[in-house]
Chain A
């Protein structure tokens, strides 16, 4: 049990979140359902299998819609009597097993339709992707098909409910008249089926809650609220903040049941403000009650993910479509709730633009320094320009959301697919040094670019690197486009499609390119290792002639065995990315520019564009494990650099040097996102001076054109890791006023004393 840190006294007229959080979590995980309420998952699976056998010629979107309805109509349900929100159905992942199978941490086997495509039309592309993944060249979803990174249009949903969508469908049918195609007709029918099913499902839950309220009068407050809410939403516009939150949570769960697509829950303080305002105005809610309600609401997300990958994103601040700044009372109230909640999920992001209140900077910086470090801070000016450059209107660009982690995508209008492929930017260098062959396995992965020992100039080397990189990008583009053309047969998604413009207007599912913006994401990982390695070879083998190319290539093949002197020279004596060093910074910018421009020259399989990103997530470690020693002095198997920043331990120029280097990149050319990870000492940001400096750091990053930044506040655990792995932390300075020393130069005993101080500061 994590104690609430809130200091505001709460009225105890109703039982509080803290009294219930553990029990709600336990029951969410427990997942036991009463057999009286419907069919078991096994029975649902048999019903689905039977349906497919009986309707073999039906279009897949209709097959899926009918099975969706079958699950919601017959599945077992439950309502937690101590919660404010209901959604539980024991669906057994029937739909995902049918389509694309396991995602994230969940493993329930391969998806039938995806595997069928992978073994059939997509075989050569899938084989290439599998091999590229096994060698750490790329990583990503099966067949390079990212089926999601979408946010439904919450404005539209909350304004009119699902009955509003059904009205739109009727209107679209009417305007098409006889000109309606078979595919359009199937699409509209599928939407009618799933929205009807969702409205009926809400009634099932509402009736269940009503009955439960009678048998458990002690819980009648919450069960009564659920009964009333679900007799209104999601069919109609919510009448209260509670109903709006219930609506969003239920929609989220149903979209996830259909296929994991939702990654962002929208602009919280813009979308929900009217409901909050109306409740306060009518005297229906106090701020204390609203804060409690938000905690119950967000706890559902924590129950679903427990701080693991794929946490869902809520964004605050930033601007509305007309460019007006959003921050309001609900912003701060929700941030207070988040602090009291004290869990890593959901993920909160904050958007800033000139004109954002100082209070928003101060409040968020204060939360981060207190250890709530999952916040991502984003610069609207850069993000909006990046999206406009890729063809979005300014009005659409302004309502972008961090759609997964930090990838900007337009709410309700873009199917962003931000993670189709993550490319290891360092691996093409390894291939360039080995004539296209992976030296660890002997497998040819790229074109023959010649014996690297024979390169006569840095230009020769650079050209070989670009050839290898382009080979990876072109292959990825080709195979992703092929996979996208199979998408309508793999995972049609009628339930979310109706909530994405312009699917209803055009009568096309998101899988068939029905969205206004259809994007494909290419993520570049390990920029620092690519740039540092190229620059180290330039400095040591060409400009400086300290070592020959042959010597360095040999040493990397043997993980610098017997050549520690060379490794340390390459690591410690050659300037590195992230230290405001113009030479290596120019190499990094050159690699990034080429990567982004190449990606932006591609069109994708749904008629949209490909969009470049620079970040790593788990790929820094996974690529590193599959990459041999690199000429930047990195040993075989070690992690690549995180995000867009310096390699571990090599940002010896400190955080300002890191930001100055990173600012040389053009983030208006990374429309698929980027992130700079920054470590902070709690002592450096303590007190009023520290908060002011922290905010100054954020503002400088933004004013120099940065996009997204996130912070890791150093803790004792990190410093103990530094004791064990000093090289990875060579740049770690001790932060004590007036003192100048690096952590790894201290004796063990002195390090322990510093750790004790840090613990104290937290």
Chain B
């Protein structure tokens, strides 16, 4: 699944420019203070429960939400490949022949067509994040890179971190850890905090649900914890997948053995991302389980606290 479309000119990641799919301003749980979270495209994992499916592949994608379409057919006029056509009086979007020119998105005033992942330069991103410098200053906040896996666009991500660092803006990186150690090491001088996702301590389970073994993730986390940089561990609690008492106990034991951990933030799995899969024509892989209830999350929190860890429950608690 990952990178199936990411070929040729559509993949851009250099020290000067990269592919960004969103900004979230006034982000308050992605590191200290008020932050701007910059979402970079591309991820080495393909988690079944992924709630940002547009983050998986590195190339651009087009969201299509037909309920917003007013049938003005401007997209049909500009499409260079007949991906946008009218068949039997119905407008049809055929992704198979789409060359991702983005021309249709440019003329879609209703917002039915939207581009996920536009190319931005380091300077453009910096201008966007610098706009909120006053908020970072008053709250002790800064910039968080997220994704996808932001360090997959390594040169671009590190150039952004360096630019923030130079500008005196606090930096955090939300990583899945499935990277070469040298990439994390290169980001380290410009990263003031890591938010490190831990999905499952069982490597086999990990592979079944994310596509990769967890060996490298675990190994990188151990090495990172020895560098002195503060690390917040993040665990998405998915009932029936990674939330058994044994699994939590194992995670707690492992985390307890690490240094420089600021705490464990529990995130609750939710099933609200289906519309994104639909709008991308991607197969919805979200596990058909109920989100964890508050009592269960509190119990998990208590269990981890009993193991000596600082725990942050999801923002609804």
Contact = CB atoms under 8 A, between A and B. Distances in A.
Interface of A: 564-565, 568-569, 571-573, 580, 653-657, 659-660, 683-687, 689-690, 692-693, 695-697, 699-700, 703-704, 730, 733-741, 745-747, 749-750, 753-754, 757, 760-761
Given A656-B131, A703-B134, A753 B272 contact: yes
Q: For B109, B234, B275, which residue has the most chain A Cβ atoms within 10 angstroms?
A: B109
A572 to B, nearest CB: 6
A660 B109 contact: no
A568 B24 CA distance: 24
Interface in B25-42: 25-26, 28-30, 32-34, 36-37, 39
Nearest to B313: A687
Q: Which 4 A-B pairs have the closest CB atoms?
A: A696-B139, A568-B109, A693-B28, A654-B25
Contact of A750 (B52, B138, B272): B272
B174 interface: yes
A65 to B, nearest CB: 53
A696 B33 contact: yes
Contact of B272 (A572, A657, A738, A746): A746
A690 B28 contact: yes
Given A565-B70, A660-B132, A684 B26 contact: yes
A370 B72 CA distance: 45
Given A692-B139, A693-B33, A760-B294, A700 B22 contact: no
12 contacts: A568-B70, A656-B131, A684-B26, A687-B317, A704-B134, A733-B24, A736-B270, A737-B30, A739-B52, A740-B37, A745-B275, A750-B275
A657 B139 contact: no
B311 to A, nearest CB: 12
B135 interface: yes
A485 to B, nearest CB: 47
A692 B26 CA distance: 12
B282 to A, nearest CB: 15
B276 interface: yes
A179 to B, nearest CB: 58
Given A660-B131, A697-B135, A703-B134, 6 more contacts: A655-B26, A684-B26, A699-B139, A738-B37, A745-B63, A747-B274
A651 to B, nearest CB: 11
A347 to B, nearest CB: 26
A734 B135 contact: no
A692 B141 CA distance: 10
Given A565-B109, A573-B109, A740-B22, A699 B29 contact: no
A761 B141 CA distance: 24
Contacts of B294: 760
Contacts of A659: 135
Interface in B96-143: 109-111, 131-132, 134-135, 137-141
B139 A654 contact: no
B65 A745 contact: yes
Contact of B28 (A568, A580, A653, A689): A689
A693 B317 contact: no
B90 to A, nearest CB: 18
Interface string B13-57: 000000001101110111011101101000000000001100000
Given A700-B138, A736-B270, A737-B30, A687 B312 contact: yes
A693 B34 CA distance: 5
A699 B279 CA distance: 39
A681 to B, nearest CB: 9
Nearest to A739: B51
B39 A655 contact: no
Contacts of A734: 272
Contacts of B29: 687, 689-690, 737
B316 A683 contact: yes
Contacts of B22: 740
A700 B315 CA distance: 23
B194 to A, nearest CB: 14
Contact of A746 (B25, B74, B275, B312): B275
Contact of B138 (A564, A690, A703): A703
Nearest to B197: A738
A316 B28 CA distance: 28
A737 B234 CA distance: 10
Q: For B26, B274, B312, which residue has the most chain A Cβ atoms within 10 angstroms?
A: B26
B316 A761 contact: yes
B267 interface: yes
B306 interface: no
B267 A738 contact: yes
A493 to B, nearest CB: 44
Contacts of A737: 29-30, 265, 267, 314-315
Contacts of A745: 63, 65, 275-276, 279
B24 A580 contact: no
B84 interface: no
A689 B34 CA distance: 9
Interface in B65-95: 65, 70, 72, 74
Q: For A653, A693, A747, which residue has the most chain B Cβ atoms within 10 angstroms?
A: A693
A572 B70 CA distance: 14
Given A697-B135, A760-B294, A740 B33 contact: no
Contact of B34 (A656, A657, A733): A656
Nearest to A756: B291
A749 B275 CA distance: 10
A564 to B, nearest CB: 5
Contact of B25 (A571, A653, A690, A741): A653
A154 to B, nearest CB: 34
A754 to B, nearest CB: 6
A693 B270 CA distance: 24
Contacts of B32: 689, 692
B146 interface: yes
Contacts of B279: 745
Nearest to B21: A740
Contacts of B222: none
A736 B37 CA distance: 12
Given A656-B25, A738-B267, A745-B65, A565 B72 contact: yes
A730 B110 CA distance: 11
A699 B138 contact: yes
Contact of A656 (B26, B110, B276, B316): B26
A741 B53 CA distance: 11
A655 B23 CA distance: 13
Contact of B139 (A564, A695, A749, A760): A695
B109 A738 contact: no
A659 B270 CA distance: 31
Nearest to A682: B316
Interface in B237-295: 265, 267, 270-276, 278-279, 291, 294
Contacts of A760: 294, 316
B135 A700 contact: yes
Given A683-B316, A737-B265, A760-B316, A692 B33 contact: yes
Nearest to A737: B29
A573 B114 CA distance: 12
A243 B60 CA distance: 71
